[in-house]
Amino acid sequence: MLVIRRRAGEAILIGDGVEVSVIDISPTRVKLGILAPAEVLILRKELRQAEAENQAAAQGVNRRAIESLVERLRAPGGVKITSGDIFSS
């Protein structure tokens, strides 16, 4: 990973046509401006992670997988059931 320090107002060039500028810096957040060609996807990392996990999660569902998961969760060292029926009214 390239680690680089920038002040507000400074910028970084990436590849062909991507520019990242530091617009503002506050104690807890940095405001970035990103210039890139339309075909370059810009995405918050956690959104990509959530998308990938959801796709993998949806793929992996089958009866055997569910049964084996439940078995493992109930084995010693597995999940402790604390919340019961989450939708009990």
Cβ closer to other proteins: 15 or 61? 61
Cα–Cα distance between 47 and 59 in angstroms, integer?
18
Q: Is 73 in the site for other proteins (CB under 8 A)?
A: yes
Q: Is 42 in the site for other proteins (CB under 8 A)?
A: no
d(CA 1, CA 19): 17
Stretch that binds other proteins, among 4-12, 13-21, 34-42, 62-70 (CB under 8 A): 62-70
Stretch of residues binding other proteins (CB under 8 A), selected from 2-10, 12-20, 31-39, 74-82: 74-82
HSE-up of 19 (CA within 13 Å, CB side)? Answer: 7
Residue whose CB is less far from other proteins, 2 or 62: 62
C-alpha 29/C-alpha 75 separation (Å) is 43
| 44 is a contact residue toward other proteins (CB under 8 A) | yes
CA distance 79 to 40: 42
